[in-house]
Amino acid sequence: DAGVIQSPRHEVTEMGQEVTLRCKPISGHNSLFWYRQTMMRGLELLIYFNNNVPIDDSGMPEDRFSAKMPNASFSTLKIQPSEPRDSAVYFCASSLGAGANSPLHFGNGTRLTVT
Amino acid sequence: QKEVEQNSGPLSVPEGAIASLNCTYSDRVSQSFFWYRQYSGKSPELIMSIYSNGDKEDGRFTAQLNKASQYVSLLIRDSQPSDSATYLCAVNRRARGSTLGRLYFGRGTQLTVWP
């Protein structure tokens, strides 16, 4: 099993630019999660999908952030326009089911730096 | 009050000792509990899950759950330098009226095992 695949691994961009992060979940998993991790705030859930439908986006910081899941094998997280405070590691994770007992499998993350 | 609280550490123990990591959670309806290990620069990986009161052992790891006290712990016996990492406590609970769960993470406890 290839695991959760994220791209790019690193992204450096200038303030105001659009950033798109990509994720391919584990085949067969029907729940997908986007997390952001910083030293100050730890691991924060941004949004999660179940069967390609957004279930909870209450963690999305503001309108500059958007996420899509057009099919079961692909999701994107877009930031437009980006700001220096968006600098963080963004993790995508997937699980089989979204019930209370479903553990998450994380991708390797995208380290975003906005200058 | 945060959903999940952990001592940030750092916790430092000598090789061969028992490392004890603690976690409290705020919502009594929480249903399942996980410990993730995160090496520096890497993604979190699941090491233990526990769903009912009591102890659960897996090799050198023991998870303990006390729902009355809203307390979860992880014991690492015979600690090794390779156990040096940040340990994240995660708590999953279903939203009211939903079958879907959401995972809340603590900020993590940094553990160092010195030879």
Long-range Cβ contacts of B46-51 (<8 Å, 24+ apart)? B46/A103, B46/A104, B46/A105, B48/B74, B49/A101, B49/A103, B51/A101
DSSP code, position A16: T
Residue B73, pLDDT score? 96
Residue A98, pLDDT score? 62
A41, A96, A106, A108: best mutation site toward chain B, by most B Cβ within 10 Å? A106
As separate numbers, helices (DSSP H) first and strands (DSSP E) second, chain A gives 0, 11
Residues B60-113: tens digit of each pLDDT: 999 999 999 999 999 999 999 999 999 999 998 766 566 667 788 999 999 999
Average pLDDT of span B36-45: 95
Residue B97, pLDDT score? 60
Residue B25, pLDDT score? 93
Contact A47, A98 (CB under 8 A): no
Least confident range of A11-25, A99-113, B46-60: A99-113
Residue A56, pLDDT score? 85
3-state percent helix, strand, coil for chain B, nearest multiple of 5: 5, 55, 40
Contact B14, B81 (CB under 8 A): no
Whether the per-residue pLDDT at A100 is higher than 60: the answer is: no
| Tokens 């700001």, residue located | A83
Task: Give the 3-state DSSP-derived string for A51-93, with helices as H, strands as E and coil as C.
Answer: CCEEEECCCCCCCCEEEEEEECCEEEEEECCCCHHHCEEEEEE
Whether the per-residue pLDDT at A26 is higher than 90: the answer is: yes
Residues A41-93: tens digit of each pLDDT: 889 999 989 999 998 888 898 899 999 999 999 999 999 999 999 999 999 99
| Tokens 């959760």, residue located | A4
Residue B74, pLDDT score? 97
Residue B39, pLDDT score? 97
Task: Say if the Cβ atoms of B31 and A55 lie within 8 Å.
Answer: no
Residue B95, pLDDT score? 62
Task: Say if the Cβ atoms of B99 and A107 lie within 8 Å.
Answer: no
Residue A115, pLDDT score? 97
Average pLDDT over all residues of chain A: 92
Contact B50, B56 (CB under 8 A): yes
CA distance B103 to chain A (A): 8
Whether the per-residue pLDDT at B30 is higher than 90: the answer is: no
Q: Please, which residues have CB within 8 angstroms of residue B8's CB and are 6 or more apart in sequence?
A: B107, B108, B109, B110
Chain B residue closest in CA terms to A6: B43
Residue A100 has its nearest CB partner, among B45, B92, B108, at: B92
What is the sign of the dihedral through the CA atoms of A47, A53, A56 and A58? positive
Q: Does A104 lie at the interface with B, CB-CB under 8 angstroms?
A: yes
Name the residue with higher pLDDT: B74 or A96.
Answer: B74
Task: Say if the Cβ atoms of A105 and B46 lie within 8 Å.
Answer: yes
Count of Cβ atoms closer than 10 Å to residue A51 Cβ: 11
Residue B53, pLDDT score? 93
Angle B70-B101-A35 (CA atoms, 0-180°, nearest 5)? 95
Proportion of chain B above pLDDT 70, given as a percent: 93
Residue B24, pLDDT score? 94
The number of C-beta contacts closer than 8 angstroms across A and B is 55
